[in-house]
Amino acid sequence: MLFRQLEYFVALAREQHFARAAAACYVSQPALSSAIHKLEQELNVTLINRGHAFQGLTPEGERLVIWAKRILSEHDAFKAEVKAVRSGITGTLRLGATPTASTTASLPIEAFAAIHPLARIRIQTRLASDELARMLTDFELDGAIMASGPAEHGGLETVPLYEEHYVVIVPQELVADGDAAMPWVEAHRLPLALLDQRMHSRKLIDQAFAEHGIVLEPQVETDSVASLHSLVRTGRWASIVPRSWLYSRGGPSAPGIVTLPDAVVHQTMVVAISSIEPGSLIARSFAQTSAALDLDEFLAIREPYAAMDPRAPAADGTGHVSGG
């Protein structure tokens, strides 16, 4: 059995099409088909339901995909570890993050890149926590920044990153002058734009309102933090978001933060990696770097959503709030 055969087979399982799988592997379709046929002969099993086109994997093929992903991941991890002994950590850290963690992800990434300047980082956001957990266990990601609840899936190891608390962001036109706080149950009266119901943070918000007998029906739902920010910026909508999400954002026109003093929504954000040993060296290094950070203190001292006229220049003259 050759690693190349497993790579071709995993590509076929992913692409569900012989020509696309061959193109993804930079080989001809006959070469890919031949390699997979030899793999079937060596294992003495049928892996693919064949017809005029790809018709799916057999039960044996479904099982082999799981093993093949693990074998290939361990192979890549071993090569990276051998190379790291000579020249330091290189390779690519494949990192995922939930939408609400997409801005704070820059903090552990910056710390990791400072220690390992030869490493590359590829980050995917707009992924739900359950999907991140699946991608970690399927060796499609090295690490993920996500909520602690979904990260407690079997086969994952977690490192606490920071505590997440929620606030309402609302244009000043939608609240009375001087209002700096409101009861949790009053927030539903605002015209809301929220992340969609697949997201773990949205599920927590819905649950908190449900405990007061309130079913949220926001006018706008999105899977994008950037889109949510833009919606609030129009001055038409308010939103309920993690406070940490705000530290790197500019505000909408005449913005404000309204705290929820009786809010019960909070969660621990963690860095999650696979717990399978020996695992990925680059993933372990990212987790170790993240564990050394004190992001609770860092985020607490930021003034994240400065109330300012968006037409005025920022303090550093660049259009961005300095220090944020």
pLDDT, one tens digit per residue, over 135-189 is 998 888 999 999 887 777 778 999 999 988 888 888 877 776 656 667 777 888 8
Answer yes or no: is 313 within a domain. Answer: no
d(CA 305, CA 307): 6
Q: Are 253 and 169 in contact (CB under 8 A)?
A: no
Shared-domain flag, residues 184 and 254: yes
The pLDDT of residue 178 is: 58
Answer yes or no: is 124 within a domain. Answer: yes
Q: Are 228 and 102 in contact (CB under 8 A)?
A: no
Backbone angles phi, psi at 268, to 5 degrees: -90, 125
Shared-domain flag, residues 204 and 244: yes
d(CA 201, CA 269): 11
Answer yes or no: is 17 within a domain. Answer: yes
Answer yes or no: is 318 within a domain. Answer: no
Task: Give the structural domain span for 242.
Answer: 168-266
Quick: pLDDT tens for 36-52. 888 888 888 888 887 66
**Residue in 252, 263, 60 with CA at minimum distance from that of residue 169:** 252
Q: Using the 8-state DSSP alphabet, how is residue 320 labeled?
A: S
Shared-domain flag, residues 277 and 156: yes
User: 4 burial class (0-12, 13-18, 19+ CB within 10 angstroms)?
Assistant: middle
Quick: pLDDT tens for 287-298. 999 998 888 887
User: What is the pTM for the complete model shown?
Assistant: 0.61
Q: Are 118 and 88 in contact (CB under 8 A)?
A: yes
Shared-domain flag, residues 105 and 146: yes
| H-helix segments, the chain | 3-15, 18-24, 29-43, 59-87, 106-115, 129-137, 200-210, 225-233, 281-291, 295-300
d(CA 212, CA 167): 18
Q: What is the CATH number of the domain that holds 277?
A: 3.40.190.10
Answer yes or no: is 60 within a domain. Answer: yes
**CA angle at residue 30 from 25 to 36, to 5 degrees?**
70
Question: How many structural domains comprise the chain?
Answer: 3
Shared-domain flag, residues 153 and 277: yes
The pLDDT of residue 201 is: 84
**Residue 242 in tokens:** 């993690």
Shared-domain flag, residues 127 and 96: yes
Three-state secondary-structure class, residue 181? strand
Quick: pLDDT tens for 60-119. 888 888 888 888 877 777 776 666 655 667 789 999 998 888 878 989 999 999 888 888
Backbone angles phi, psi at 222, to 5 degrees: -145, 160
Contacts for 160 with CB less than 8 Å, ≥ 6 apart? 148, 268, 269, 270, 291
d(CA 296, CA 13): 42
Q: Using the 8-state DSSP alphabet, how is residue 170 labeled?
A: -
Shared-domain flag, residues 39 and 174: no
Shared-domain flag, residues 144 and 276: yes
Last residue of a domain, one of 26, 61, 82: 82
Asked if the peptide bond before residue 191 counts as cis, ω within 30 degrees of 0, the response is: no
The pLDDT of residue 252 is: 40
Shared-domain flag, residues 128 and 254: no
pLDDT band at 194 (very low <50, low <70, confident <90, very high): very high
Mean pLDDT of the chain: 79
Q: What is the CATH number of the domain that holds 35?
A: 1.10.10.10
Facing residues of 54 across strands? Answer: 50
